[in-house]
Amino acid sequence: MTLRRKLPSTHALFTFEAAARSGSFSAAGRELNVTQPAVSKSIAAALYRGKSRLKLTPEGETLRRVVQRP
């Protein structure tokens, strides 16, 4: 049996990158012209809320390195 992983959509990758860069679901939503709840729903597994900014989960940190490659 082959282990298959579901790849995130392009929209989810753009959303993740914007939120990771800005540190805010709201700022990412404004940049991408979507609501804050839509941002948090699409990428909740990769980020969590810190006291003042979003923090990356270990999986989110790995994804950030891949997404931000030149």
pLDDT digits (tens, 9 = 90+) for 2-57: 445 666 788 888 898 898 888 888 999 999 999 999 998 888 766 666 677 778 88
Return the higher-pLDDT residue of 59 and 4: 59
DSSP state of 55: E
pLDDT at 67: 79
Q: Tell me what percent of the chain is helix, strand and coil, each rounded to the nearest 5.
A: 55, 10, 35
Class for domain 10-67, per CATH? mainly alpha
pLDDT at 7: 67
pLDDT at 1: 46
Report the distance separating Cα 39 and Cα 43, nearest Å: 6
- Domain boundaries along the sequence of the chain: 10-67
Q: How big is the CA angle at 33 (ends 59 and 18), to the nearest 5 degrees?
A: 30
Q: How far is CA 2 from the centre of its chain?
A: 27
